[in-house]
Structures are given as C-alpha cells and as structure tokens.
Structure 1
Amino acid sequence: MGGRTRGGDAVRAEQNGLIAVLAFGGIVVSLSQTLVIPLLGVLPAILDTSASNAAWVVTVSLLAGAVAGPVMGRLGDLYPKKNVLIGCTAIMVVGSILCALATSLWPMLVGRALQGVGIGVIPIGIATMREMLPAVRLGPSIALMSSSLGVGGALGLPAAAALAQYGSWQWMFWGTAVLGLVIIAMMAARIRLLPAAKPGGTLDLIGAFGLAVGLISLLLAVSKGTDWGWGSALTLGLFALAAMAFPVWGWWVLRHPSPVVDLRVAARRPVLMTNIASVLVGMGLYAQLIILPQILQLPAATGHGLGQSMLAMGLWVAPGGLAMMAVSPISGRLITTRGPKLTLVLGSLVIASGYGSALFLMSSTWGVMLASALTSAGVGLAYGAMPALIMASVPHSEMGSANSVNTLMRSIGTTAAAAVLGVILTQMSVDFEGLFVPTETGFRVGLLIGCGVALSAAAVAAMIPPPWVTEE
C-alpha cells in the first residue's frame, strides 16, 4: 500500500511539474508580446525611424503570431508536442536576442516577428495537457495555462515601463531570452516525449501560404485602416485580396488529405460557436487595454484624465492580470463541476459588469483599478472555458490545430477592437495644448461597446450545443 502511495505521489509530482512548466512558458511568451508597448514613445529615437514605422514593431508580432499559430498547431499534431513546444520557445529566444542587439528598424522587426511565433506555446501547451493529465486535473490546468496570458501582460507593462524610465530597454529583451532558455531546459526535463497524434500526416505548405496571405491581408487592413484611411487604395486592396484568398484557400484545404486547418471540424456547431464567442471575448479583453491606460495617463487638466506616469499606469493596471490568475482555480472548478459552457457565459457576464462599473468608477485611480480587475477576472473565467469547449468537440488528432485556431480567433477579436476603438476615439477627440486627446464621451462610448460585445459573447456562448450532437 505504501508503494502505491509513493507511486501516486510521483505521478502527481510529474503532473505538477508539467503544469508549472507550461504555465511559466505561457507567461514568458505573453510577456514577450507586451513588453514593447511602454517603449512606443521612444522607439523612433532608438531605431532612428518615424513614429509610423516604429508602430510596426507591435503590428509585426501580431501578424507573425496569427499566421504561425495554426501552422505550429498543425505541427503539434504531426510531431511530438514536446519537440514543437521547445522549437516555439527557441524561436522566441532567437527573436529576443535579435531585438536586444537591434539598432535599426529591420532587425527589430525580424526579432519581433520571431517573438510572435512563440505564442504557439499556449495552444500547444493546452493540447499537451489534454494528452498527459487525467480528466479530474484537466479543467483547472487549462484555466491556469489560459490565465498566463493575463499574468504576462500584468508583469510586462510595469516592468517594461520601469526599465524604459530608469534602465536600459535592452534588458527587457535579454531578460526574455534568458527566461526562454530556462523554459527550454525545464521542458526538456519535465515533459515526456509522446508519439505524434497524427504521425501519418504532412504539413500542407500551400495551405499554410494561402492562410498567411488571407490573414495578413485582413489583419493589416483592419489594424492599419485608421492610419492609411479606410477608403484608401491600399486598405481596400488588402480587403479585396483577403476576400479572394480565403475562398481559394478554403477550396484547397477541403481537398487536401492533411490540411493545415480542418474546416470540416471547424464547421461543427460547438467549435464554430465557441470560436465566434472567442472573437467577441478577445474584443472585450482588448477594449479595456486601450481605454483604461489612456484615462490613467491623460493629464488631469483635461478634466477626465488622472495624470499618472507611465510606470504608475502599469502598476495600477497590473492587478487586472493578477486577477486573471486568481480566478483560474475558480474557473477550473466551474469547468469540472458545471461545464465549460456555463463558465464561458458567466465569464462574459463578468466582463460586461466590469465595463459597466467602469462607467461609474473612471474618475479615480482606485476605481479604474477595480474595474480593470473585474473585467480581467471575467476574461480569466472565459479564457479557461474556451479551450475546454474546443477539446471536448474535436478528435484527438486535431487538438493542436483546433486550439491554435481558437487562439487566432481571440487575436482577430483584439485586432478588431483596436480598429473600432481607434476610429471612435480619433473621431471623438479634442485639441488639448496642441495634442488631440479623446473626450470623456469617447471613452464612455468605448466602454459601452466593450460591455455590449461581452453581452453578445454571453448570448453566443449560451447557444453552444453539447459536443455529442455534432456529426463525425
């Protein structure tokens, strides 16, 4: 009996190590995505370029992550997930080193693109948990892994702001490179090498290229439309290219024996409805990241700004990310006891209540912090539920790809939120001492949109059917 207990303890220790390594990896790769945001004001001087060119340092990481996510997810189905996880992290490390050494725009853009590829660690990590953990531990572990996105952002903003203000900006990139190397060593030691879920398949390179053309065209048009003009030839041309590329890509992958994304699986109602809800939750997450930091940093003389420094802003919004981590055990228990569908509905409603409260609390730093924490807690609940819904609805051989597509849907939501709110806040702005700043009404309209999007996510989530009603 004692031997069985020691054996059970060893198994549980192995599982705990796996969960810790994957969650830590998720935190670091999400940290690498957000650490340049406080640097945007000084990047033109650092890279000897214009402000519009420097903005590509953020955009290129988004585009690379969006394109690489489904490809890495498919590789996670075709090859052992341990190897793909280590490969994703290694690419992120190389990107971090390039960024640390960059003195001009192009090396920085290449480095940031490679950092964007690292985001594949999160969906593949979730699929790895499905393979290696018992059902009783799966819900809480997925919730913890999903919440790593918020923790990375929570740590990244104040840390990057402090370094930008008091230290050397290169430290941020060297730090993520060192952490990435630590994660690689931990993955090599703590994750078992299991056979590939779909060993007979091959990577559909033509399908991957077609997906890249469609996604880059769409996301570029959406994210840069405000800067280039929504009626400009470039924006309209990109939308037209996306409109042509996606049908051709769909025709191709439906006929390929090992498609980069299995559209037949993606069209199943539970998967489709979950992905639609994911777009809306992604919009709900990003709306607050656009609005609340601006309220904190605008001068108090505007009448609705709170006059905080860059570092203080990062510290005031940091509890939001920590709230995502704090609710992950609750999300896990709800997923296990009540199901992921109810958890997603509840999370969306909590997001909506956070935006609603912000309408009344935006006049004080403590109020903004509380509204941010409430909204982020809802995101934490929802982010844990979405992968659980996906994995309950797809075959074992499609888990990596399906989770990556779900992550892509959230990215599309955040990009759409940035575009919509960018237009609103630009149109509803006033001249303040030579600078155009959003009005209080503009911020309130943005908060109402965030609330409405979250309520829409709850309505969509409520209509997700059980996975067993789908056709095989």
Structure 2
Amino acid sequence: MPDALARPARTGTSVPSKPNAVVAVLALAGIVVSLMQTLVIPIVPQLPRLLDASASDAAWAVTATLLAAAIATPVVGRLGDMFGKRRMLLISIVLLVSGSVVCALADSLVPMIIGRALQGLAAAVVPLGISVMRDVLPSDRLAGSTALMSASLGVGGALGLPSAAFIADNFDWHFLFWTSAVLGAVSFLLVMTFVPESEVRTGGRFDLVGSLGLSAGLMSLLLAVSKGGDWGWTSAITVGLGVAAVLILVAWGWWELRSPQPLVDLRTTARPQVLFTNLASVALGFSMFAMSLVLPQLLQLPEQTGYGLGRSMMTVGLVLAPQGLVMMAMAPVSAAITKTRGPKLTLMIGALIVATGYGLNMVLMSEVWHLVLVSCVIGGGVGFTYGAMPALIMGAVDPSQTGAANSLNTLMRSLGTSFASAIAGVVLARMTTDFNGFPLPSENGFKTVMALGAGAALLAFAVASFVPKHRPAEPAPVTDGPVEPAEAAARA
C-alpha cells in the first residue's frame, strides 16, 4: 500500500481573478513550445553546410528534439503532480529559452544538438497547462479552455512554418532561435504574472528507476523508428534497438505494477476510458502527421512531374497557416459538443472529419486552393480531437494525477507521429518515379500515404467507439480554503 505521502493532498486553491488572462497566457505558452516543431524545417536542407556536418549527422538536430520530448513529457508531468504544475511549467519554459540561446550561439553540430534537446525538454508545457486549468478554472470555463490549450499544439506548428520560412529567407538563420528565446522569455514572465499555482499535489517519492526505464525504452523505440530508414530496417542496430525497446518496456511495466509510487499508474492507464483514448491518440497522431509529410512535398515538387506545384517554402507555410486558425476556431465548437453530448462524441466526429479531409486530398491535389481546403478540413477535425482527448483523460483520473495522465496522452500522440514519419518515409521511398534521372515520390505514393492517413483516422473513430459513456470532465472542486476530509469525501 502507498504511504500517506503518496495520497492526494489538497490545500486552498483560489479561483483566479482573471481567468481569461490565465487561458490566454497558457495557450500562448503552448503555441510558443509547439513552434519548436517547425522552427528548423526551412533550414533543414542547409543544416549540413551551416553546421559543417554530413546530412545524416545534421539530422540529429531534429531527432534530438523528438527524443528529449518523448522522455521529458511523462517525467515532467509526474513531477508536476508531485511538486506543482505551474512550477514545472516554468522550469520547462526556462529549458526552452536556454536551448534557444544555445542554438542561437551555435555554429557547429554538437551545441546545436544540445540546444535542440533542451528545447525538446519543454514539450510538457501543453499537458501541464491543461492540468493547471483543471485545477484553477471554474467548471463552466474548463471545456473551452482545455480545447484551446490542446489546439495550441497544432496552431503553433501551423503558424510557425511561414514565420520560420520568412525569417530564414530574410535574416541570418540564428535569428530563428533568438526569436524563440524572446518568445519563451515573454511567456515565462506572463505565466509568472497571471497563472496561479495549482495546489493539488500527490507528494511522495519520485520513481527514479521507473523514469530511467521508461526513458531507455522510449529512446530505443524512437531511435529504431526514426533512424531505421537511414540505418536499414533489417540492420543489426535497428533490430537490436527494437528488441531492446520491447524487453526494457516489459521490464518497466513489471516494475511500475509493483512500485508503491509509480511514475505511470498503469492500473489507472488500463481503465477503459483512459486506455481507449490513448490508443485512439496513437492513431490520430499518425493521421495528423501524414498531412505534414504529403502537402509540403506536393507543393514543392516541380510542375514538370505532372502533380507537383513547384512552389516555395514560404508558399508552403502560407498554405498550411490557415489550418492553425481553423483549429483555434474549432476549439469553442468542440467544447460546446463536449458540454452537451460528451467528449467521446466530439472525438469521434473529429476523427471522421480528418478522414474526410484525406479523402478530399486523394481527388483534390492539382491546385494550391485544393491543398488549402484539405489542410483546413483536416485542421478542423484535429481541433475537435485535440479538445476531446484531455477531457476524456481528466474525466477518468484523480485530480492529483492529471499532469502525468495528460502527459502520457501527449506522448501517445507523439508516438503516432513517429510511426507516421517512418511508414510514410518507406512508402514514398519505394513508390517513386524517374525525373531527369532522379527518383521522386510518385503520385500514387502520395495517394497511398493519404489513404493510410484516412485509415488511421477511421481506426481512431472505431477505437473511440469503445470509450465508455461518461459525463464531460469536470475540474477539481475549487475553494478559498482547505478542504476538510468530510467535505472532500462528500464531493467525491
């Protein structure tokens, strides 16, 4: 049995005097962190020259962020539950600023990788922000606020691409990172000023063995998935990492089930509402990222191919930017459906919209406006799903576990995006057409990836149908003073 320190402890958490400011500040922090996903995309082709490194080595500037984010998200979420979600959110933003400064000063590969890893360690800002909202906002504000906060992941990614392309085209590439450092510093100051600390804590001891085991397992898995195409899917190192990931994660699960204060409460994770939501999140992560792999290439491939549109990276960013605005616009619609019909229906609707977007993409891909329409449809579906998933998770876990639970859900989406990158990479590498002696992804290859994206969205719809019917998630009760045991029991 866990000791007394491991039980949730609640002291007085007051309703913030400016809830609108809390929501806006946390959403801004989420957007700033999600900008890191697209920050380096415009300069990826130039990284080998800029860093005096080979193309395979320069790719670690992207891979380092992926690995650091996967490792940090569940760990920081658990630390937030134990020691304060706002505190860990601020620490995450400090890591983001530090990494941005390191990258801004870098002229070689090693400091760039270090800086990008530090930026990846800030990935838990969005799930921490959602958890803070649950603890400090009035119940009538929670659904819309968490939908907006969750959508900030996609908003930042969509708006970041044209912004980064503009900066890369008109300024020294280091300015990209100075800009992210300034935005991070502004977010830090705003969080310090407007966001109160949630006082819902678990206490207890941190599961160091569990965190090391999960980190090792995830690193092995993600390295195998993300680098398998470069190393060879049947190479000894790829197969070895895959086997190691399975063995380590099985051992980690055994440890977590026997730990009195686990990093991830697997028994809670096995609850149907949490389990099926997380499984749907993997499928949705796959589906959502497939678009990011297809549309930019279609826009940039030469028109002479017969299906490429021959546009610049700036145009790519402008085509994808409306998607972020649509996601933000869908947040209140998603919240309204969640309030009246529950987050399960919201998630299923969103998955169908995403699948519809890919269906459109398979027949509408010859004009720029076709791709704008497709990205907006898919973005609308993503807005629905991003709003529903945290509501489902928080409706099934104790308030003292929301940081860890939301972080795990975010990790599931990230795993889906990693699988999408690997599988789509294989498809596009195998299904090619000859263009002036160079192999390029074929039109059928792109359509195959779109079909996979639609299939993943439909799989998410099917999995979400198994989520038990449940009331829309409500926040932890908010008081102006300590909650007495009898009162807490009555509320429970």
Normalised to the residue count of structure 1, the TM-score between the two structures is 0.95
- Among residues 191, 206, 210, which one is paired with 1:207 in the alignment? 210
- Among residues 345, 348, 353, which one is paired with 2:348 in the alignment? 345
1:393 aligns with 2:393: no
Report the alpha carbon displacement of residue 406 of structure 1 after superposing the two structures with TM.
Answer: 0.1
Task: Specify the alignment match of 1:362 in structure 2.
Answer: 365
Alignment of 1:300-379 (within 5 A): 300-379=303-382
Find the aligned partners of 2:106 and 2:294 in 1 and give their Cα distance.
31
1:134 aligns with 2:132: no
Task: Report the aligned-residue RMSD.
Answer: 1.4
Task: Specify the alignment match of 1:96 in structure 2.
Answer: 100
Find the aligned partners of 1:467 and 1:203 in 2 and give their Cα distance.
31
In structure 1, give the amino acid aligned to 2:229.
Answer: T
Find the aligned partners of 1:29 and 1:335 in 2 and give their Cα distance.
26
State the aligned residue count: 459
Task: Specify the alignment match of 1:238 in structure 2.
Answer: 241
Report the alpha carbon displacement of residue 13 of structure 1 after superposing the two structures with TM.
Answer: 5.3
Q: 1:467 to 1:339 in 2, by over 3 A?
A: closer
Report the alpha carbon displacement of residue 250 of structure 1 after superposing the two structures with TM.
Answer: 0.9
Find the aligned partners of 1:380 and 1:453 in 2 and give their Cα distance.
17
Report the identity percentage. 53
Task: Specify the alignment match of 1:7 in structure 2.
Answer: none
- Unaligned runs of 5+ residues in structure 1 are 1-9
Task: Specify the alignment match of 1:67 in structure 2.
Answer: 71
Task: Specify the alignment match of 1:415 in structure 2.
Answer: 418
Report the alpha carbon displacement of residue 143 of structure 1 after superposing the two structures with TM.
Answer: 0.6
Q: Describe the superposition over 1:394-435 as per-residue Cα deviations: whole angstroms up to 9, x where unpaired.
A: 111211000000000000000001111110000001232243
Q: Describe the superposition over 1:373-394 as per-residue Cα deviations: whole angstroms up to 9, x where unpaired.
A: 1011101100110000000001
Aligned-partner SS, 2:418? helix
Find the aligned partners of 2:153 and 2:374 in 1 and give their Cα distance.
19
- Among residues 182, 188, 194, which one is paired with 2:186 in the alignment? 182
Report the alpha carbon displacement of residue 141 of structure 1 after superposing the two structures with TM.
Answer: 0.4
1:446 aligns with 2:441: no
- Among residues 432, 435, 441, which one is paired with 1:432 in the alignment? 435
Q: Are the aligned partners of 2:86 and 2:128 in contact in 1 as well (CA < 8 Å)?
A: no
In structure 1, give the amino acid aligned to 2:389.
Answer: M
Task: Specify the alignment match of 1:251 in structure 2.
Answer: 254
Moved more, 130-139 or 432-441: 432-441
Aligned-partner SS, 2:124? helix
Task: Specify the alignment match of 2:298 in structure 1.
Answer: 295
Task: Specify the alignment match of 2:91 in structure 1.
Answer: 87
Report the alpha carbon displacement of residue 193 of structure 1 after superposing the two structures with TM.
Answer: 2.6
Find the aligned partners of 1:12 and 1:132 in 2 and give their Cα distance.
7
Find the aligned partners of 1:383 and 1:53 in 2 and give their Cα distance.
34
In structure 1, give the amino acid aligned to 2:106.
Answer: A
Q: Which has the larger share of helix?
A: 1
1:116 aligns with 2:120: yes
Aligned-partner SS, 2:132? helix
1:157 aligns with 2:161: yes
Task: Specify the alignment match of 1:42 in structure 2.
Answer: 46
Q: Are the aligned partners of 1:33 and 1:116 in contact in 2 as well (CA < 8 Å)?
A: no
- Among residues 174, 180, 188, which one is paired with 1:170 in the alignment? 174
Task: Specify the alignment match of 2:5 in structure 1.
Answer: none
Task: Specify the alignment match of 2:279 in structure 1.
Answer: 276
Find the aligned partners of 2:16 and 2:101 in 1 and give their Cα distance.
36
- Unaligned runs of 5+ residues in structure 2 are 1-13, 472-491
In structure 2, give the amino acid aligned to 1:118.
Answer: A
Q: Are the aligned partners of 1:33 and 1:115 in contact in 2 as well (CA < 8 Å)?
A: no
Report the alpha carbon displacement of residue 196 of structure 1 after superposing the two structures with TM.
Answer: 4.3
Report the alpha carbon displacement of residue 463 of structure 1 after superposing the two structures with TM.
Answer: 1.2
Report the alpha carbon displacement of residue 33 of structure 1 after superposing the two structures with TM.
Answer: 2.4
Aligned-partner SS, 1:42? helix
Find the aligned partners of 2:124 and 2:451 in 1 and give their Cα distance.
32
Find the aligned partners of 1:293 and 1:324 in 2 and give their Cα distance.
19
Report the alpha carbon displacement of residue 67 of structure 1 after superposing the two structures with TM.
Answer: 0.5
